[in-house]
Amino acid sequence: MSRIGRKIIYLPNQITATIKNLDISIIGPKGKLSYKLSKLINIEQKNNTLQLTQNNNSKKSQALHGLSRTIINNMVIGVSEGFSKKLHIEGVGYRSQMEGKNLILNVGYSHTITIKPPDNIKIIVENNTNIIIYGIDKTVVGQIAAKIREVRPPEPYKGKGIRYSNENIRRKVGKAGK
């Protein structure tokens, strides 16, 4: 049995969970998220807690047990608090700005790059070099952050590029001069 899957999910006061067959939807102050469980996983709701169990001990059900519990727990955290990722732009002349809801990046190419976020994602730009992505769905927030970072990943010689705020770039020594 999965150690993570056995953990109980506690629902805060303002969060409600509705289970219909294999569909679970979590509603909170920040919004609503839903997820379809596998047939190999059972879910029980008791008072303000959710408990997931396996139907059988197959490898597939063992793999889905912890995964399903983590996804549902992330949904509960998302509708109550939300998730955010911070990116930092480093390099001479590299900057970002908002144009409506779209993010405009100037990162050393001959053209600007425009990134259009989904409706449930909010992007905030601080002092042209810090970008904060905020939303209730953890996977979508991470995917948008990865998409922005992919535009200009940090290079190991000068460290120029877009990186996560907590990311550590391994630097290389440049060519030795005579």
- Looking at the structure, tell me whether residues 45 and 97 fall in a common domain: no
- Looking at the structure, tell me whether residues 68 and 115 fall in a common domain: no
- Looking at the structure, tell me whether residues 87 and 35 fall in a common domain: no
In a domain, 88, yes or no: yes
From 53, 80, 107, give the residue that closes a domain: 80
CB 68 within 8 A of CB 76: no
Predicted confidence at residue 66, as pLDDT, reads 87
CB 47 within 8 A of CB 88: no
Question: What mean pLDDT comes out for the span 39-43?
Answer: 88
For residue 178, name the pLDDT band (cuts at 50, 70, 90): low
Q: Tally the domains of the chain.
A: 2
Provide the CATH number for the domain around residue 137.
3.90.930.12
Predicted confidence at residue 104, as pLDDT, reads 92
- Looking at the structure, tell me whether residues 30 and 13 fall in a common domain: yes
CA 48/CA 42 separation, integer angstroms: 17
CA 93/CA 57 separation, integer angstroms: 56
Question: What mean pLDDT comes out for the span 29-57?
Answer: 88
Range of the domain at 17: 3-80
pLDDT at 137 over 80: yes
The residues near 158 (Cβ < 8 Å, ≥ 6 apart) are 91
When the pLDDT of each residue in the chain is averaged and rounded to a whole number, the result is 89
From 63, 80, 97, give the residue that closes a domain: 80
- Looking at the structure, tell me whether residues 65 and 88 fall in a common domain: no
Predicted confidence at residue 21, as pLDDT, reads 85
Long-range contacts of 140-147 (CB under 8 A, 24+ apart): 141/83, 141/84, 141/85, 142/85, 144/85, 144/115, 144/117, 144/118, 145/85, 145/87, 147/115
